Amino acid sequence: MAEFLLSLAAEKQLNINDEQFSALLDSQDSLAHLRKEFHIPIIETLPDVDANLVNVKDECVYMCGNSLGLCPKITSVMMNEELNKWAKRGVIGHFDDSARPWVAIGDFPLESMAKVVGAHPSEVAVMNSLTVNVHLMMVPFYTPTETRYKILIEDKAFPSDHYAVESQIRFHGRDPDDALVLLKPRAGENTLRTEDILEVIEKEGDSIALVMLSGVQYYTGQLFDIPTITKAAKAKGCSVGWDLAHAVGNAVLELHEWNVDFACWCSYKYLNSGPGSIAGIFVHSSHDVNTRNRFAGWWGHEKSTRFTMDNKFISNQGAAGYQLSNPSVFATVPLIASLSVFDKTSMRELREKSLKLTGYLELLLRQEIVTQDGAADFTIITPVTPRDRGCQLSLRFNCKVKPVFAELEKRGVVADMREPDVIRVAPAPLYNNFSDVRRFVRHLKDSLAAAAATKH
């Protein structure tokens, strides 16, 4: 990517940090029009902005899709349609002839959702929230025996996954100190090597009941080799589940083809469904919903007889069988809304743009900042190989990070700081453009200088 960008700049006699250069990249972006589908916050509506440093009427530099994606314009339209329906028709909204009768509200996102994760629609359900689903999936897929009872996760898994897994181990009467196998990077390295993961699976696989890793690591931004790890773990007889919170809508996924057992994800990051909105699950079609124990509820009941109320449970086939409750309409409609934007493109197109966008970010960071005074203020802990990462770059600072972050905020940059020393920067290909990336790097450069100056 660097080569392509540098030669394009040379050809046009521009520097890669020129406004004209990012504008050129934007003009060549076949997905650029999708930005207009979103509300981009204006700097003046953000807190802690310094009007002397930035034009507060400009759009902010939003690099935080890894935490909460931006709001599609269609969302409030659809939400108000449902609010209106409730106000005007009450319970009739469940079964009425409107665009989205509530009784089926959870079905409307399935086709688009399945496309995004590379699944058959019947392998996908939208329900609950992420950690809830991690637990509900572990009920059928973590069934420890005397000899096979361990769970393999990352040493620095997202806290909620760590707590979920620990509590499941305790629930089954085991001790996490014994049953939890933690994958650590090699000394001096930030991310896990696939070969090391495979070695652990090869060595300890016979005692591992479940491998549950994240598709994209929340802290480092590492994209795991899902097909290779899945295949190796399944060959050893382990169940394999993936937490795709940071991978969905970010990386190209082929969950069905990769033969993943189950996967869970939230929808409020790259899927842009709003804070805490409804989550998704994938269960591979090779699993018959009736052959494993799982927790059951009426929403998992076969649809045509769900309301017969005879208390004889006949399960929906596929992922739909794992549903428990009637889903929240107001947590689901924003997902329907945001997936309608995904329907205007494809994950392959988005990924293609993403590689360029993040490649441009990396190149600018290296040119503009890493070489400043000959020394870097930070290292990029995300893998350098595009294949091994999503859109996010995680910058680990060797100066104090809080003052830098505060300076970024003054300039209308929305990124995300993680204790102790990391700023995560995530240009989302659905709405971020190359100018955002250029502006981010300029603001970071200025912020580093300003933070350094106030230190003295």
Ligand X SMILES: Cc1ncc(COP(=O)(O)O)c(C=O)c1O
Contact set with ligand X (CB under 6 A): 129-131, 158, 160-161, 214, 218, 243, 245-246, 266, 297, 299, 325-326
Window 302 to 321, contacts with a second copy (CB under 8 A): 307-311, 313
- 334 is an interface residue for a second copy by CB under 8 A: yes
Can residue 162 be called a binding residue for a second copy (CB under 8 A)?
yes
Our finding on whether 386 is near a second copy (CB under 8 A) is no
Residue 190 is a binding residue for a second copy (CB under 8 A)? no
Query: How near is the Cβ of 442 to a second copy at its closest, in Å?
Result: 20
Q: Which of 42, 99, 104, 235 binds a second copy (CB under 8 A)?
A: 42
**164 binding a second copy? (CB under 8 A):** yes
Tokens standing for residue 409: 């905020």
Closest CB 194 distance from ligand X, rounded Å: 19
Least CB distance to a second copy at residue 202 (A) = 26
Is residue 49 within 8 A of residue 254, CB to CB? The reply is no
Quick check: 157 binds a second copy (CB under 8 A)?
yes
Amino acid at position 13, single letter: Q
Taking the complex as a whole, the smallest distance from the CB of residue 416 to ligand X amounts, in Å, to 11
Site residues for a second copy, 210-229, by CB under 8 A, read: 219
Least distance CB 405 / ligand X (angstroms): 19
> Quick check: 135 binds a second copy (CB under 8 A)?
yes
- C-alpha–C-alpha distance, residues 244 and 116, integer Å: 12
Q: Does 160 bind a second copy (CB under 8 A)?
A: yes
Q: Least distance (Å) from ligand X to the CB of residue 318?
A: 19
Residue 245 binding partner per list ligand X, a second copy, none, with a CB distance cut-off of 5 to 8 Å that depends on partner kind: ligand X
The Cα–Cα gap between 127 and 439 comes to 38
Nearer of residues 21 and 142 to ligand X, judged by Cβ:
142
Ramachandran sector of residue 418 (left: φ over 0; alpha: ψ -120 to 50; beta: rest): beta
Q: Is residue 301 part of the contact set for a second copy (CB under 8 A)?
A: yes
Q: Among ligand X, a second copy, none, what binds residue 246 when CB lies within 5 to 8 Å by partner kind?
A: ligand X
Tell me how many residues contact a second copy (CB under 8 A).
90
Question: Residue 18: which of a second copy, ligand X, none does it interact with, CB under 5 to 8 A by kind?
Answer: none
Q: Does 248 bind a second copy (CB under 8 A)?
A: no
Instruction: List, in order, residues 6 or more apart from 316 with CB less than 8 Å away.
Output: 289, 300, 301, 302, 303, 323
- Interatomic CA distance for residues 199 and 181, integer angstroms: 13
Cβ of residue 164: shortest distance to ligand X, in angstroms? 8
Q: Which of 232, 271, 341, 414 binds a second copy (CB under 8 A)?
A: 414
Q: How far is the CB of 277 from ligand X (least distance, A)?
A: 9
Q: Are 269 and 258 in contact (CB under 8 A)?
A: no
> Where would I find the H helices in 379-423?
401-410
Cβ pair 280, 253 in contact under 8 A: no
Q: Could you tell me if 265 and 248 are in contact, meaning their C-beta atoms sit under 8 angstroms apart?
A: yes
- Which of 104, 66, 22, 440 is closest to 249 using CA atoms? 66
187 three-class SS: coil
- Compare residues 177 and 419 and give the one whose CB is closer to a second copy: 419
Q: Which does 243 bind (CB under 5 to 8 A by kind): ligand X, a second copy, none?
A: ligand X
Beta carbon of residue 43, minimum distance to ligand X (angstroms, whole number): 26
Strand ranges for 170-237 from DSSP E: 180-183, 208-214
Q: Tokens for 375?
A: 């020394």
3-class secondary structure per residue, 259-325:
CCCEEEECCCCCCCCCCCCCCEEEECCCCCCCCCCCCCCHHHECHHHHHHCCCCCCECCHHHHHCCC
Q: What is the rounded distance in angstroms from the CA atom of residue 274 to the CA atom of residue 268?
A: 5
Give the residue with the Cβ less far from a second copy, 230 or 272.
272
Number of neighbours of residue 13 by Cβ within 10 angstroms: 8
88 binds a second copy per the rule CB under 8 A = yes
**Residue 214 interaction partner, one of a second copy, ligand X, none, beta carbon < 5-8 Å per kind:** ligand X
Q: At what angle do helices 19-27 and 2-11 cross, to 10 degrees?
A: 110
- Taking residue 438's Cβ as centre, other Cβ atoms within 10 Å add up to 24
- What, of a second copy, ligand X, none, does residue 275 touch, CB below 5 to 8 Å by kind? a second copy
- Residue 232 CB, shortest distance to a second copy, in Å, is 25
Of these partners, a second copy, ligand X, none, which one is at the site of residue 302 (CB under 5 to 8 Å by kind)?
A: none
